[in-house]
Amino acid sequence: MDLSTSQKATLGYAAFLGVGGLMGYLKGGSQKSLIAGGASAAVLCYVYMELPQNPVLASSVGVVTSAALTGMMGSRFLRTGKVFPAGVLSVVSLVMTGAYLHGLTRSVR
């Protein structure tokens, strides 16, 4: 199976969020991090699977998910000033939001 660049990026992003949520739980006992990271990773796994068959739907779900994470983690970064994890995650999510928007505009044409 040959994966598209969008699928590879989505899979990497999902893994990043899932591992980050697990790290937050293991290091700080944060169940909130575990649940949020796991849920976000699960949604992005759906996006990954749906991209080849329905790129408009998949990119739309990806935009909403990554934009929400950009907003939440960006505001947390502004409030706490902590580069990791809030600053890093907000930047990665912003980049992925742009990637999904790019994919969406290419799919709609």
Query: Over the stretch 39-57, which tens digit does the pLDDT of each residue have?
Result: 999 999 999 999 999 999 9
Asked whether residue 88 carries a pLDDT value surpassing 80, the answer given is: yes
Q: Is residue 107 pLDDT above 90, yes or no?
A: no
Does the CA dihedral 70-72-77-78 come out positive or negative? positive
Residue-range definition of the domain harbouring residue 23: 5-108
9 Cβ partners below 8 Å, 6+ apart? 96, 99
Per-residue pLDDT band at 35 (split at 50, 70, 90): very high
Nearest to 52 by CA among 109, 14, 103, 12: 103
Structurally, the chain folds into a number of domains equal to: 1
CA distances from 91 to 26, 80, 83 (A): 23, 15, 10
